[in-house]
Amino acid sequence: MKKLLKLILITIILLIILLAGYYIYKQYFVKQETNEAIKAIPNDSFIVIQTPDLFKAYKQITQSQLWQYLIRTDYFADINKDLQSINKYLKATPLPEKFFENRPMDFTINVINGSWDFLAIIDLKSMGKFSSDLDIILSSIPKYKTFKLHYSPDDKHNYLIYKFVYLPNQYKKYFIGFAGNLVIISPRLTLLKKSLSALRGTSIADDPDFKRLESKPLSPGLFTIIVNFKQLDPFIRTFQDHRDPYIQTISQGINHAVLSLDVKDNFLSLKGVASLDTVNSYFKALSQTKPAVLNSYQIASDQTAAMVALNFSDYKNFYTNFLKAFEHEEPRQAYEIEKSINVLRNIAGIDIDKDIFSWIGNEIALYKLTPEYGKRAQDIVIAIQTPNPVSTESKLDSLTKKISNISPLKFKQIDYRGYKISLLKINGFFRLFFGHLFANIEKPYFTILGSYVVFSNSPETLENIIDDYHGGYTLNNDDKFTSFLDKFSRKNTFFAYINTPLLFKNLLFFTSDRDRQKLIKNKDLITGFSKLALQLTAKKDLMDINITSVYDPNASLDIIVHQIEKQTQINRLLQDIDSMRFKISIGDTIFTDGEHTIRYSTGQIYMKGNVKNGHPFGQWQIFYPDGNLKMTQMFDMHGHLNGLVQMFYDNAPNSKLAEFYIKDEKIDGVLLQYYQNGQIKAQIEYKDGMRDGKATLYYSNGKIQAKGRYINGKKTGRWKFFDKQGNMLSTEVWKHGQKKR
């Protein structure tokens, strides 16, 4: 027994000596090609994610609150399941973990052949000398079949590539290539070959613009992120068929950004520096003016799905720099702009400095509203900050009069809830003075809200904006938005914001058929990152950049409940009924007793009914301009409203819109509001002209949307909200019109 133990000990010692000798031989006598991981990243990569220690970063990510939220979604639940399987495999087989532990890793996203895919590049350092001995390990990966390939980008190099085919689904393939100390992984062979070729001098590290940024110090984070903004537009086009002008502007204006990524609680933030394209007119002009304070969210509707704001210390200076850059970028279009401005000067007698530049302050913002909010998904709103709203109103009145003198188009000013809505009849006004980014306003209707002149394509959209502003439904009063805004500096140069739950329908509207189902399948994940913003602040020839997103798994539900709640507060028809604005007036005209007809200027009947003692009497009918019946009202012998009032949709069948009773000029009883399909939309009890009693709102399928009570016109008690299937979404408690919880 003693001899046997001695023999075993000698054998173990000899084995250790042999292994140690082999390691020394590999370490010191076998020549190894040594490469930097950054040198294997193609120069047209869109995003590069770098970490000095993959395993450490993985542990920090998977232990974060954000990760715990994410794995509740189907998409990340599958990823987490795969990661658990990998963990189990690594624990059972420690050798692969030894290869990757404490190793730097670069992960890239690349656009290739109209779609996108990824590269993973791992620096094995000295362990790379063992890559030729990995056959046994790589060939033993369960459920995969292994093939060997070779790739020679030039006469000097011949790289080994392993092809792995997943046996249960042979369309699922991975390729692993070795370049000295680097191991490179991708599902695309062409992308892997592109990475190997980049080592010959076509990598992102060879780009002079990137080299300039690489030396800039970053705050510490889990990862370093490199973004090649030139590839942003091609990447977005892998999801949608059309080119978005706002994405194009960012893609053409920023070259590269180097950022530090950090995850804290449910926030994901990227901060660093970005380099600008000195040719792009917007960003060149912005970089040459001082930043200004972002304030446009104060008048923005809380139905804003996306917002872009430009902030500048002096608009005239910005515009001068913009035109200079634009002359270089698009000389023909710059000439046309100058020509159009001369027409305004010479024919309309407009003084550009006095009539236009003088009322433009430090900010111009563009909002995209949620599609449900307007009649068209592409409706947008533009807000221009003005230093003096009172004098600006006078200047705009003067400007519209000058334009009216040379324009055959006439527009009667609308007075809506005390706000004037006018039409600025300058063809291509925003293209002339703000460039193509703001050119989608075809007919600039405008009003003044606070210290902003607000423009839109339609008066109806402005009325909706006024409703929200008047009712306090703005981003400024949205606690979640203002809390999110605290993550950014108030003074900046460029600010872009997205509310993904509200923007999701826009994404579906513009996305190609092939990707629409993917978006729908991953809706919870996409809309969970409920708020995303990009902020740029000019700093010499660079920009400080901050990209932050917050993950809120309840965001979509909160928006649905908020919209239902808002309907009960801001239903315009109900507001008109509550205020008795619908009551007709026959004016100061003296009518003889009997039947009378009043007409529109077109000759079409406006309203008709009987007059008694100079007052309307009995039933009066009111008509839409196209001749359809709009409303019927009942008057007593004193000219007071008394009896049934009926309202109708503007259609030939005269579909009923609402009906209610008036008693002594006050609404009394149950008010019924209808959808065009005849289903009840709202059922609300009134007493002495105020909402008092039960209130129930319905979906068009007949299911209850919300229900609660009013007392003396104010919400009181418990209100319940439901989805279209009848499932309860949320409850709120109100007291004297104030929400308690």
Same domain, 545 and 590: no
Mean pLDDT on 97-125: 78
Place of tokens 């009518």: 591
Residue 313 lies in a domain: yes
Residue 62: predicted pLDDT: 74
> What does each C-alpha distance from 281 to 313, 427, 434, 464 come to in angstroms?
17, 22, 11, 33
| Cβ proximity of 203 and 40 under 8 Å | yes
**pLDDT for the residue numbered 83:** 61
pLDDT value at 325 more than 80:
no
Is 439 contained in some domain? yes
Q: Are residues 106 and 47 in the same domain?
A: yes
Using the 3D structure, point to which of 507, 531, 552 is the last residue of a domain. 552
Q: Say how many Å lie between the first and final Cα of the chain, rounded.
A: 81
**What is the model's pLDDT at position 622?**
92
Q: What is the pLDDT of residue 416?
A: 82
Instruction: Place 18 in a pLDDT band, splitting at 50, 70 and 90.
Output: very low
The parent domain of residue 411 ranges over 243-552
Q: Does residue 535 surpass a pLDDT of 70?
A: yes
Amino acid at 253: G
Residues 383 and 499 grouped into a single domain: yes
The answer on 511 and 601 residing in a single domain is no
Question: Taking 60 as the threshold, does the pLDDT of residue 409 lie above it?
Answer: no
* pLDDT above 50 for 9: no
Indicate the residue among 552, 575, 605 that finishes a domain: 552
Q: How many folded domains does the chain comprise?
A: 3
Assess whether 351 and 474 both reside in one domain.
Answer: yes
pLDDT over threshold 90, residue 209: no
pLDDT band at 684 (very low <50, low <70, confident <90, very high): very high
Please determine, for residue 695, whether its predicted confidence score (pLDDT) is greater than 50.
Answer: yes
Position 10 scores a pLDDT of 39
pLDDT in tens, 459-504: 888 888 888 887 788 898 888 898 999 999 889 988 999 888 888 7
Considering just the CA atoms, what is the radius of gyration of the chain in Å? 34
Grouping H, G, I as helix, E, B as strand and the rest as coil, residue 704 is: strand
Whole-prediction pTM value? Answer: 0.69
Contact by Cβ (8 Å): 265, 224 = no
In 165-207, which ranges are continuous DSSP H helix? 189-198
Q: What is the pLDDT of residue 12?
A: 39
Q: What is the pLDDT of residue 621?
A: 93
* Sign of torsion over alpha carbons 314, 320, 324, 326: positive
d(CA 241, CA 249): 17
- Is the same domain home to 409 and 448? yes
Is 21 a residue whose pLDDT tops 70? no
pLDDT at 193: 92
Task: Please check whether residue 200 lies inside any domain of the structure.
Answer: yes
Across 709-714, average pLDDT = 90
Tell me the mean pLDDT in the region 386-395.
Answer: 89
More confident residue, 367 or 586: 367
Residues 495, 372 share a domain: yes
DSSP code for 97: H
**What are the pLDDT digits (tens) for 572-620?**
677 778 888 888 877 666 678 889 888 887 888 989 999 988 889 999 9
DSSP H or E run through 190: helix 189-198
The residue among 711 and 346 whose pLDDT is bigger is: 711
190 versus 436: the higher-pLDDT residue is 190
Most confident of 14-23, 269-278, 471-480, 677-686: 677-686
| pLDDT for 665 beyond 70 | yes
Last residue of a domain, one of 490, 519, 552: 552
Whether the CB-CB separation of 646 and 663 falls below 8 Å is answered with no
Same domain, 588 and 533: no
Separation between Cα atoms, residue 741 and residue 730, nearest integer Å: 11
pLDDT of residue 555: 73
Note whether residue 10 is domain-resident. no
- CATH number, domain at 665? 3.90.930
Tell whether 81 is covered by a domain: no
Same domain, 648 and 716: yes
* Average pLDDT for 638-664: 89
**524 and 544 share one domain:** yes
To the nearest whole percent, how much of the chain has pLDDT over 70? Answer: 76
- The answer on 721 and 596 residing in a single domain is yes
- Return the higher-pLDDT residue of 489 and 166: 489
Structural domain includes residue 287:
yes
How many CB atoms neighbour CB 436 within 10 A? 16
441-445, 594-598, 725-729: the lowest-pLDDT one: 441-445
419 φ/ψ sector (left φ>0, alpha ψ -120 to 50, else beta): beta
Cα separation, 526 vs 75, in Å, equals 10
Indicate whether 566 and 547 sit together in one domain.
no
**H-helix or E-strand spanning residue 337:** helix 331-346
Does residue 284 fall inside a structural domain? yes
Q: What's the mean pLDDT when you consider all of the chain?
A: 79
User: Is 204 contained in some domain?
Assistant: yes
DSSP H helix total and E strand total for the chain: 22, 36
Mean pLDDT of 408-429: 74
DSSP H helical segments within 425-478, as ranges?
A: 429-434, 459-471
